[in-house]
Structure 1
Amino acid sequence: MVFREKSPIGAASLTGVELRSRRGGDWEKPPADVEAPSIRSMFDALDEARAFDAPAPSVARGQMILRETQGPHEAWAHASGRDLAITQLSPGACPGHLLRVNLGDMGFDAGGFDGDLRVRGSLSGKAFSIVSVLERDGALNQWGHKVDAGDILIIPPGGELDGRFQGRTAYAVVTAPWGLVMQRAEAFGWLADPRFRTETAVYSPPPQARAACRRVLRDCATLMRTMGDGVPASAIDILRQDLLDGVLSAVAEAREPAARRQGVLNAARIVRGAEDFVEGGGARQAVQIEDVCRALNISRRTLYRAFHDLLDVSPKAYLRLKNLSAARARLLDASHRPTTVTQVALDHGFWELGRFAGAYRTMFGESPSETLRAHGGLRR
């Protein structure tokens, strides 16, 4: 079954994970001359069935969501099993598109978005998440490390994304149970290393390996989009194997020490610590910079340098942006948890409602009441 939500662009125009920005730029088209044999044969079978008006294959699993998105919260934060805090750092819309498919105990996401975003939190508390950055046209970092197009992020169960996305980003995410990943990893040499099982890291495969991985991910995404009524049961096992082997094969090629970046660098560690302190303090606006510095045992200068190095904003400005984004996430969730603009503003430390409304409109291009009305909440 496919759920299509406000998607004026047809599925055929969203092949692979190619992102066409509203600002007119195009991502590089997936190569058409080389495809994985199993994916190619599935395309041939699908084309043949359509040519002879054969009945659509039955679907046991393979539920699919395909839609355009107007912001990062609807693409990531509300997905099942995820707990992500997303802070928009620059004003403006963050348009994108999203493909999400249920492959039984595995999941697959592919899509893209525009924006300048701080993203922190868990993609899955119980499963491995393997994130491939397919394209980017701005800076991207995770755990303080620079991430390039073609790099792969490994996040064990309970591990966190922790970084910043700038500009346009196209991505794919394979989520799989820990046991399944370990079983498949044993076929790839050094991936049986315990560090692979327990530590978040950025891997940079050599050019040929990263190109092959991107090709597999694009082919699988294209196939799923083409099967507009859902993925048939006969295709799911092939997709599961191709997706997991495709990303693990690329990671296995990143053998050199320079191809593996792990741990949280100092600036990222300071920003994380400041966020944790503020979140633990309850009254967000009441927290003073001096309180944060004392809690982290660092100087004011060190705190400001960390925030500017990682996010290009001061700690105080970031706290305000974080609260605005949290307020927007709450308003977007009003269909499930009815609320009012006043209540949301007060809950997130904004005591002057006029200033809150003005800052919200400047950041997100609409008033808080417009967001609330559009998502089925109550307004006062």
Structure 2
Amino acid sequence: MGQFLLVDSKRLDGFEGLHQAVHGSHVDVMQLGRGRLRGTLSHVGIGDFSLSIGAFNVGMRTQRVSSDDKLIIGMLLSAEDRVAHWSFDMQLNDVLVIPPLLEHDGVFHGASAYAAMRFDLDEVASLFGGEARLSDPDTWRSRGHFRADLETGAIASRRLVRIMSHLRTHNGGLTPSTADFWKRSIVECMAANVMSSLPPDDEGWLPSARRLIRRVEEHLDAAGNRPVHVSEICAALGVSRRTLHRAFQEVFGLGPVSFLRHKRLCAVHSILRDSAPGSVTVAAVAMGQGFYELGRFAQYYLAMFGERPSQTLGGVTWHAAEESIGGA
């Protein structure tokens, strides 16, 4: 049985619905703007990890009591007016850190949308693995604000919303390994904005790129057919994303994310080619390899292999007939 525990989505009809603005954490709210509060609130839970995305149409004041022992990292997805958390003035896609057992005070002066993930502080070493500054729990013990890069922030925001939409629609068949992949994908969206806000580090010595690539591929081989996230590799090998990126660029001329996507595309291709039509669906195989945007997956696949996934699956009878003729 997988780790996937919760998918919940509802429409808000009154400010009281925002008491559960972050799954598993009570939030006191007071409506500031005039009019009936309308909005939406969605939660996804994977083990003790959760992602919440909410949107509302009037100004709100939010306060969180200090009884929660989980770390909360949030992102501002949209705002029609000023948003402030503590003394931090938030801009679009900025990231906010609410440490465990710390009171929180936020003011939304108008319609806004946010995303918030909540998990144990002990998990940061794994989820942010490879980035020394992020994988250290002490980094997250103080409240913090990270200004998002405009381009990186917009991409991260869109990805978070798409991941939530995907998991809300396709939550039935997640295994522990695929659940872990989606959890890392969510964290990666937040981490991208945090990293773009940090000053560049000076790691100096770069290990041999080919030796590092060999270690990565050994890890991928050990993982078998399950999808592997970049942050998992960084944590397992004890390297930063920057070091990993430089190594892949040097050896392959593309970054590790593109490399992993190509590898997953190849896995899909092999599964489809070896499956009888009707025994699997393209969507199930693609999602099993971590592709949640099926339209984009189809574009990647066509560009990579010069044929559509359905053509690969439908061609299995032809392949089998050809092999039979060749062996006759």
Normalising to structure 1: TM-score of the pair? 0.48
- Alignment of structure 1 residues 13-24 onto 2, 5 Å: none
- 1:115 alignment partner in structure 2: 58
- Alignment of structure 1 residues 330-369 onto 2, 5 Å: none
> Could you tell me which of 153, 156, 169 is aligned with 2:99?
156
- 2:47 alignment partner in structure 1: 104
- 2:73 alignment partner in structure 1: 130
Task: Answer whether contact 1:61 1:232 (CA < 8 A) is retained.
Answer: yes
Mark the runs of 5 or more structure 1 residues left unpaired by the alignment: 1-57, 258-380
CA deviation vs aligned residue, 1:33-69 (integer Å, no higher than 9, x gap): xxxxxxxxxxxxxxxxxxxxxxxxx866232111101
Deviation at 1:77, TM superposition (A): 4.0
> Could you tell me which of 33, 37, 62 is aligned with 1:94?
37
CA distance 1:79–1:220, shift in 2 (3 Å): closer
Deviation at 1:108, TM superposition (A): 1.0
Q: Determine the C-alpha separation between the residues in 1 that align with 2:22 and 2:66.
A: 9
**Residue type of the alignment partner of 1:232:** L
Task: Answer whether contact 1:112 1:170 (CA < 8 A) is retained.
Answer: yes
> Could you tell me which of 228, 233, 236 is aligned with 2:175?
233
- 2:149 alignment partner in structure 1: 206
Task: Answer whether contact 1:70 1:94 (CA < 8 A) is retained.
Answer: yes
Q: Determine the C-alpha separation between the residues in 2 that align with 1:63 and 1:230.
A: 10
Task: Answer whether contact 2:4 2:47 (CA < 8 A) is retained.
Answer: yes
Q: Determine the C-alpha separation between the residues in 2 that align with 1:126 and 1:249.
A: 25
**Residue type of the alignment partner of 1:132:** M
**Residue type of the alignment partner of 2:84:** N
Q: Determine the C-alpha separation between the residues in 2 that align with 1:130 and 1:251.
A: 10
CA distance 1:210–1:231, shift in 2 (3 Å): farther
Q: Determine the C-alpha separation between the residues in 2 that align with 1:244 and 1:124.
A: 24
Q: Secondary structure at the match of 2:50?
A: strand
- Alignment of structure 1 residues 38-117 onto 2, 5 Å: 61-77=4-20, 81-117=24-60
- 2:224 alignment partner in structure 1: none
Task: Answer whether contact 2:44 2:168 (CA < 8 A) is retained.
Answer: no
Deviation at 1:216, TM superposition (A): 2.5
**Residue type of the alignment partner of 1:144:** S
- Identity %, equivalent residues: 22
CA deviation vs aligned residue, 1:268-309 (integer Å, no higher than 9, x gap): xxxxxxxxxxxxxxxxxxxxxxxxxxxxxxxxxxxxxxxxxx
CA distance 1:192–1:239, shift in 2 (3 Å): closer
Q: Secondary structure at the match of 1:222?
A: helix
Q: Determine the C-alpha separation between the residues in 1 that align with 2:166 and 2:66.
A: 24
- Alignment of structure 1 residues 26-41 onto 2, 5 Å: none
> Could you tell me which of 156, 168, 180 is aligned with 2:123?
180
1:217 aligned onto 2:143: no
Deviation at 1:151, TM superposition (A): 0.4
1:169 aligned onto 2:112: yes
Q: Determine the C-alpha separation between the residues in 2 that align with 1:175 and 1:78.
A: 11
CA deviation vs aligned residue, 1:152-205 (integer Å, no higher than 9, x gap): 111111223312012211111111111111333342243356662211111112
Q: Flag the structure with more relative contact order, 1 or 2, with Cα contacts below 8 A and sequence separation at least 6.
A: 1
CA deviation vs aligned residue, 1:224-253 (integer Å, no higher than 9, x gap): 2322x6563364222111111221232122
Which deviates more from structure 2 when the two are superposed, residues 184-193 or residues 139-148? Answer: 184-193
Q: How many positions carry a matched residue from both structures?
A: 199
- 2:297 alignment partner in structure 1: none
Deviation at 1:86, TM superposition (A): 1.1
CA distance 1:108–1:192, shift in 2 (3 Å): closer
RMSD: 2.6
**Residue type of the alignment partner of 2:174:** P
Task: Answer whether contact 1:123 1:129 (CA < 8 A) is retained.
Answer: no
Task: Answer whether contact 1:59 1:230 (CA < 8 A) is retained.
Answer: no
Task: Answer whether contact 2:84 2:108 (CA < 8 A) is retained.
Answer: yes
Q: Determine the C-alpha separation between the residues in 2 that align with 1:74 and 1:59.
A: 29
- Alignment of structure 1 residues 260-339 onto 2, 5 Å: none
Deviation at 1:222, TM superposition (A): 1.8
Q: Secondary structure at the match of 2:4?
A: coil
CA deviation vs aligned residue, 1:317-373 (integer Å, no higher than 9, x gap): xxxxxxxxxxxxxxxxxxxxxxxxxxxxxxxxxxxxxxxxxxxxxxxxxxxxxxxxx
Q: Secondary structure at the match of 2:133?
A: helix
Which deviates more from structure 2 when the two are superposed, residues 239-248 or residues 194-203? Answer: 194-203
- 2:299 alignment partner in structure 1: none
